[in-house]
Structure 1
Amino acid sequence: MSAKLESGSNRLFPLEAYRGIAAFIVLIHHFFLAFSPYTTGIAEQTRDKGSLVGLPFFALLNGTAAVGFFFTLSGFVLCWSYFNHENPQKLLLAFLKRFPRLAAIVTITTVASYCLFRIDFYYFHDASQLSLSPWLATFAHGWTPGFEPSFWEALTQGMTTFFTGEAFYNTNLWTMKAEFFGSMIVFMLACFISVILEYRYLIYAFIIISISALFYNDFIFPFVAGTFLSAYLAKNKKEIPFHASIALIIFGLYMLGYIIPEKSYAWASAIPDIMKVHTQSLLHTLGSACIIFATMTNQKVFKNLNGKLLRGIGKISFPLYLVHTLVICSVSSYVYLKLANHGVSNTSNLIIVFIVTATISTALAIPLSRFDDWWVKQVNSITRKLLKEKQLVY
């Protein structure tokens, strides 16, 4: 019997823990982009022979892959309950609450960023001149000289970024458009798989739809892969051996370490030209799917990731993802400049600034996660009432 049945709940806490770990990886990714860009060499203009990019463990620093993991995980989790219970009302409920569930906490962070601009507490530009980070110099590619903050613009952007893709108050929000539209595709695919396909021909349907998704938009592909993996595991309850599960997780992490076809990933240069532009999306989604599959098909792995600490990390994942760039560009940049001005060595400076970044981001994420819990309950309650009222009318 697979781990998912032993869990006794539709709340997949180990997968939520992975989401929290991925959020911390994005934080680390952005930290190095901001204060030590040549260490990782993620950006081409800040890459040299000593950069860590291309090494097998790069998954622990690869925020790009972590975002791909977020998308694959969303595809898996959003339709998991439906595939296990096939209750159309649950799917409709998930569809209706998706936008309001995301919008509140996202809007809070855009307004918070407006406040930081207004009180002139962003120090990213000055800090970038010391760290030589083009990413930090432009507020993570979202700021131009002469920018004038507007409260109403920030408020509107928080509520509409899901449709417009605009994210210059909080550049991390560039993923929200992909997340929202990817979620809508997940819900439609779930209906297609269960009602039209009746869970048959999953491999053929996956191949056809995946190719279409890849050539339409790379960010849609991981949602498609996560949805089909969710459908397959919901209907196939075999368990794989522990050693096979661990091997799959290691392989998945290796795939998530890919950025460019160099060093440990030189073999990727042999990928056909027609697919080269999609290599990151393909390998990151493959790695994500392997980790999810391995976790969901072995009870020992599943249970070992179900502890309180990991649950807590998973709980703060979304707010942590939303706030950490604001922290890096404000408090962290301020501390970085002050320490440098006082003659602190670069290594010591980076260690202290990283501790400050992680601590303050986590401290802000905790109350935001509590608000998010409360908000989700309100959204759930309102959408259920609307559905009941609609049923009474008919």
Structure 2
Amino acid sequence: MTAPLPPSKAGPLPAARVTSLDGVRGVAACAVAAFHFLYAFRPDVYARDRTGFSLEDLPVAALWNGHFAVAVFFALSGFVLAASSPRSLREAPLMIGLRYVRLAVPALISSAIAWAWLTGFPDAGRAAQALSGSSWFRWTYQPPIPPLSQALWEGGIGVFLDGTTRFNNPLWTMRAELIGSLLIYGSYALLKGRTRAPAMVLGMVGFGLAEVYFLVAFCGGALVFELRDRLRDNAPVGWLLFALALTAGGIIPGHAAGGGLIGPVWPYLGAYGVCDIAAILLIVSVLITPGLRGFFEHTLLQRLGEMSFPLYLVHVPLIVAPAAFVFDRFSPLSPLGLAG
């Protein structure tokens, strides 16, 4: 996927891939994987109505906050979809169809992989859940595992209709991605030039009021693309936005309200809607901050960006099957651990 580079102080640059945003995508994929791993084996990290102060209440928690990471994915998708939008209404149906294929084929393959892992380790998830107490495993099929045909249906078609599957639960985002694609491609096919940015603002407000927060992120990402020519390098503002984004969106949601100035704000940090706005601010901060662009353009993060989609699609089957099997066998509370 391609998108124009942010302009420099000298003016807009020609269209090219924004490599720094690829790095952001790679970090977000790792954050989602960490989120699910911890949710499976250390669910206390995400306890609701928690009190006190811990790492989960710091911006660094963005590294294992899956809610924020997914919001970043949606905002990045809005940016990229706006960059590749149809030039006419006639092009829109074909581009939307191709978008579905690009989402459905990997989703179908990942669902088949999930079926294979679950069939190979059918009792691992249930055993791990008994040890960790994590309710997250309920989102994955337990024995008897449905047949491969159902896995193929859910991955390729069902998840786009229902928005859920218990073979590979992160695939719920595929439906959101398809709806976001319909929104951006459809509106861009109908709207031209300067009308697009106001339309995206109205979309953010409208979907926010309707509490359809993932579409707020899509519209926000597209809005950033539309305003890219007005963005100029501004490190102080960029670092401030970066800190604000990680504080508002990166902190694990669910802290109980407390006293003092910040106490009443705690429950809203990282919450749905807030993390979607924070994801948009994160993208802006990277585009206007040379230091952040350089960091996310590092070779390692670029490689993570290249692997982000496969990592996102296969990490949960690995967690609920082989990783859960290992956890059950070697946990201090397992029969083997107690015997050792």
Q: TM-score range by the shorter chain?
A: 0.7 to 0.9
Label 1:238 to 1:324 Cα distance change in 2 as closer, same or farther (>3 A): closer
Q: Distance in 1 between matches of 2:119 and 2:140?
A: 16
CA distance in 2, matches of 1:329, 1:143: 10
- Runs (5+) with no aligned partner, structure 1: 271-275, 345-394
**Equivalent AA in structure 2 for residue 257 of structure 1:** G
Counterpart Cα distance in 1 of 2:52 and 2:235: 38
Give the superposition deviation at 1:72: 1.0
Aligned counterpart in structure 2 of residue 25 of structure 1, from 24, 31, 34: 31
Task: Determine whether 1:109 maps to 2:76.
Answer: no
Tell me the alpha carbon deviations over residues 188-231 of structure 1, each in whole angstroms, 9 at most, x when there is no partner: 232344x2xx315835x444322321206222221111112211
- TM-score normalised by length of structure 1: 0.72
Distance 1:238 1:152, change over 3 A: closer
The 5 Å alignment of 1:231-380 reads 231-233=226-228, 236-258=229-251, 259-260=253-254, 262=256, 266-268=263-265, 280-340=271-331, 341=334, 342-343=336-337
* 1:13 matches 2:10: no
Q: Is the 8 A contact 1:75 1:223 kept in 2?
A: yes
The Cα of 1:327 is off from its aligned counterpart by 0.8
CA distance change for structure 1 residues 297 and 154 in 2, over 3 Å: closer, same or farther?
same
Counterpart Cα distance in 1 of 2:14 and 2:149: 45
2: distance between equivalents of 1:279 and 1:119? 36
Tell me, yes or no, if the aligned pair for 1:25 and 1:62 is still in contact at 8 Å.
Answer: yes
User: 1:73 Cα shift?
Assistant: 1.0
Decide whether the 8 Å contact of 2:92 with 2:186 is kept in 1. no
How far is 1:279 from its partner? 7.9
1:61 aligns with 2:64: yes
- Relative to its length, the structure with more helix (as a share) is 1
Tell me the alpha carbon deviations over residues 323-374 of structure 1, each in whole angstroms, 9 at most, x when there is no partner: 1111111111121122224549xxxxxxxxxxxxxxxxxxxxxxxxxxxxxx
- Contact 2:248–2:275 (Cα < 8 Å) also in 1: yes
Aligned residues of 2:89 and 2:190 also touching (Cα < 8 A): no
> How much is the aligned-residue C-alpha RMSD, in angstroms?
3.2
Q: Is the 8 A contact 2:233 2:290 kept in 1?
A: no
The change in CA–CA distance for 1:281 and 1:226 in structure 2 (over 3 A counts) is farther
Q: What amino acid is aligned across from residue 296 of structure 2 in structure 1?
A: L
Task: Return 5+ residue gaps in structure 2 as ranges.
Answer: 1-5
Number of equivalenced pairs:
323
Is 1:152 aligned to residue 179 of structure 2? no
Q: TM-score, normalised by structure 2?
A: 0.83
Contact 2:238 2:289 in 1 (8 A): yes
1:245 shift after superposition: 1.6
- Pair 1:191 & 2:197 matched: no
Distance 1:28 1:297 in 2: 28
Letter in 2 for 1:11: R
Q: Say whether residues 1:220 and 2:215 are aligned partners.
A: yes
